[in-house]
Structure 1
Amino acid sequence: MLATVALTVQFGLNGDVALDPTSGSRAELAVYGVLALLGVTCAIILVRRGAIPWWGRWTGLAVLLGCSVVVSGVLPPHSALPPEHWSIGLIGWYGLVLLYDLAIGWFAGFLIVHVTLIGWSVVAGGAAADLADMAVTFVSVAGFQLGVALSARLVRTIAEDASRTSWAEERLRVGEEAAAAAARNHERRYADLRHTTVPLLAGLADGTLDPRAESVRRRCAVEAARMRRLLNAGRSDGATDRVVHELGAIIDVAERHGASVHLSVRGTPGEVPEPVRRELLAPIAEALVTARSEARVTVLHVPGGVRVSVRCAVPDLPVTPPGRGEVSVVESVADGQIWLEASWRSP
């Protein structure tokens, strides 16, 4: 915005300097060209990067002060500077472009140096009337630019405060949504346990189930693995591979029952929804937790999906098929060994 104002002042209000080369000395025309090049460069940098780098800022300020020195008549030949000269305000506008995002004191200091340099020729040899006219011009132009700098700084401060407030509100909203999602996830996990674990415990408590029976012990092992996996899933938010994280809980239960499990993971993990993970690992858990010898588990991540397979001794009871249609299970039995693969592909 400020770069647009500076370029408009140069080419709109003071374009006659370039159109009429006889209106000024060669030094003034050179300064006009340097300022035009500086303005276009600043505009390009602001469009591409959004901010002027520190080296560009201080290089540009050095160029501006050099232009003030040239226009003031330090480099001859040059006549006394008229109060309405185009360079008085134009150099100040470009200084504002370079310093707008710093403390206001930087721009005020630049204006003081600029006014001192550019008015030196009038101070050195001008009459009292010229000095008064120059002082009025400096105060009006520099005062207006200083007011614009203060307004720009105020707007920037308000925008930064609004951005911080918006960011804080967004973080609070995301935190509340995450907490609500975690609560819903807990409720869903507990509901799963009510349908499977609670009836088992009730049967063991009232004596309708015999804990010595192999089928009951298998159900206990499966439910222990399910509880361990579901409770472990609640702590898997920071896990890179949540499938492997939950699978680790199942393997831990299987090893506690005497199995020797070898896990192999391949591919780059992707996002797998929690209900899909539950259905994907359920048949693997049923086959794995009853293994009493060696078992091999493989997790293969493919683009847009995942496959989990297990090879172990044939379980006493058939594996329960998944309840979700998007999870498919392939089972193969040979020589007392079962190979079971559960796979899912994102729709």
Structure 2
Amino acid sequence: MNETADRVLGGCRIAVLLATAAIQLGLSLVRLNGTASWIAFTALAGVLVVAAWWVLRWKPVPRPVALAGAVVVLAASAVAVWTLPPDRLLGDEDWASGLAGWHLLVLLLDRPAVAMAALVLQMTLTFFRQIGSATADRSEIGSVVIVGLSVVAFQAATLALVRVVHRRAGEAAAASAERDRLVHRKALAEQREADQRSRFAGQLGATLPLLAGLADRTLDPRDAVVRERCALAATQLRRLFAENDDVPDPLVHEVSACVDLAERRGLTVTLAVSGEPAPVPTNVRRELTGPLMTALVAARSQARVSVLRTGDEIRIAAITDGEPATRPNGSGPVDVEWHAWGERSWMEAKWRSRPN
């Protein structure tokens, strides 16, 4: 959003710079008269060149440079104005009164409040020159005030227009960015939904033969192996449901889902978690919790589960009082170890976010 708005404002700066340069060279140069006028003209031209160093590179004039340049512009304008007779102010020979305001806009376009104050101050110097003249009458003072206010009003309107364009560009960019975010969120949601359907279909496809075997009585639910297969399928489905939940710590949430289902089967399970939550890709979480489900399904009465997070490493370990019939090995970035001590079984799944 800011980048687009800044580009628009940069284009406005260049347009004001070029317009000011055209006015100074095309309309003011031919009206110079006297050494003081040439000095003021040269000072204004120098300010314009210095400002162009930043403006033409699409950058705002730095604050110290802008303020110093504004002082030079006001001084040059005062010199040019006070060398003219009062009756010639804002006339054909008064090239500086209107031109100085455009130089102030080039310098202070990014600071509208300061720019407006500088424009008013610059024109006030012209009014003081007229009012301070003993020969000026009310009609002359009134004419100078009217013309001066017209010049300031036009320059102020230009300043306001540039700021409105800048604000509208920012709002349009923000609206466009919001539309892009909504489209991106919709695409992500659709992708997650498609992935979820695919995972559910795959899990159900693996579970259907088990259900069919139980239905046609080719599998005996009293068989320990069959019961383990049913428990494993139920745990896999429960973890799959948990995977789709929006929670601050998905890994611990999915581990807790596996533990919860084991407790529902009558097991006594203790869960210990240490370390700060860390982002873990979905496929890695599946690889970490897969061996845990197998270990919990094989447990007969109790299990101890721990989740350890240290630096760039995450470990999930389980100690159970049962030995699984099969020990799934890790795949991809997850390493899995199994050990047996008598009737106890120990499993650890390990993942490093930055492999050595």
- Whether TM-score is above 0.5 comes out as yes
Deviations 1:105-163 (A, max 9, x none): x9778755653453122134255797598568636743552353244134214312321
Offset at residue 92 of structure 1 (A): 5.8
Letter in 2 for 1:181: Q
Query: 1:293 aligned to 289, 302, 311, which one?
Result: 302
Match of 1:183 in 2: 193
Pair 1:277 & 2:285 matched: yes
| Conserved? CA contact 1:327–1:342, under 8 Å | yes
| Conserved? CA contact 1:218–1:290, under 8 Å | yes
| Conserved? CA contact 2:327–2:338, under 8 Å | no
Pair 1:263 & 2:267 matched: no
Write the distance in 2 (CA, Å) between the matches of 1:265 and 1:184. 34
Distance 1:331 1:294, change over 3 A: closer
Write the distance in 2 (CA, Å) between the matches of 1:186 and 1:136. 73
Match of 1:328 in 2: 335
Pair 1:248 & 2:256 matched: yes
Offset at residue 180 of structure 1 (A): 1.0
Distance 1:145 1:93, change over 3 A: farther
Deviations 1:298-331 (A, max 9, x none): 333542x533222222324222335x44333211
Letter in 1 for 2:338: E
User: What are structure 1's unaligned runs of at least 5 residues?
Assistant: 17-21
| Conserved? CA contact 1:95–1:110, under 8 Å | no
Distance 1:80 1:9, change over 3 A: same
Query: 2:351 aligned to 320, 341, 344, which one?
Result: 344
Write the distance in 2 (CA, Å) between the matches of 1:338 and 1:244. 22
Match of 1:230 in 2: 240
Name the % identity: 25
Write the distance in 2 (CA, Å) between the matches of 1:192 and 1:343. 25
Offset at residue 223 of structure 1 (A): 1.6
| Conserved? CA contact 1:93–1:145, under 8 Å | no
Write the distance in 2 (CA, Å) between the matches of 1:204 and 1:166. 56
User: What are structure 2's unaligned runs of at least 5 residues?
Assistant: 1-9, 30-34
Match of 1:19 in 2: none
2:304 aligned counterpart, secondary structure: strand
Offset at residue 227 of structure 1 (A): 1.2
Offset at residue 206 of structure 1 (A): 2.1
Distance 1:326 1:285, change over 3 A: same
Write the distance in 1 (CA, Å) between the matches of 2:126 and 2:17. 18
User: Number of residues paired by the alignment?
Assistant: 320
CA RMSD of aligned residues (A): 4.8
Deviations 1:245-275 (A, max 9, x none): 2111011112223222232333651332x22
Q: TM-score, normalised by structure 2?
A: 0.68
1:295 aligned counterpart, secondary structure: strand
Letter in 2 for 1:248: S
| Conserved? CA contact 2:24–2:99, under 8 Å | no
Deviations 1:9-33 (A, max 9, x none): 69x959x9xxxxx728xxx99xx79
| Conserved? CA contact 2:322–2:343, under 8 Å | yes
Match of 1:138 in 2: 148
Write the distance in 2 (CA, Å) between the matches of 1:202 and 1:208. 8
Write the distance in 2 (CA, Å) between the matches of 1:102 and 1:90. 16
Letter in 1 for 2:278: P
1:119 aligned counterpart, secondary structure: helix
Offset at residue 167 of structure 1 (A): 1.7
Between 1:306-315 and 1:125-134, the stretch displaced more is 125-134
Letter in 1 for 2:274: V
Distance 1:88 1:147, change over 3 A: same
| Conserved? CA contact 2:267–2:303, under 8 Å | no
Write the distance in 1 (CA, Å) between the matches of 2:61 and 2:279. 37
Q: TM-score, normalised by structure 1?
A: 0.70
Offset at residue 199 of structure 1 (A): 2.2
Write the distance in 2 (CA, Å) between the matches of 1:51 and 1:287. 67
Query: 1:199 aligned to 209, 221, 224, which one?
Result: 209
Deviations 1:51-106 (A, max 9, x none): 999xx9xxx6xx87xx58x9499xxx988565426365425643675466769xx9
Higher relative contact order (CA 8 A, sep 6+): 2
Write the distance in 2 (CA, Å) between the matches of 1:320 and 1:284. 10
| Conserved? CA contact 1:119–1:134, under 8 Å | yes
Alignment of 1:300-311 (within 5 A): 300-303=309-312, 306-311=314-319
Offset at residue 244 of structure 1 (A): 1.6
Letter in 2 for 1:235: D
1:200 aligned counterpart, secondary structure: helix
Offset at residue 186 of structure 1 (A): 1.4
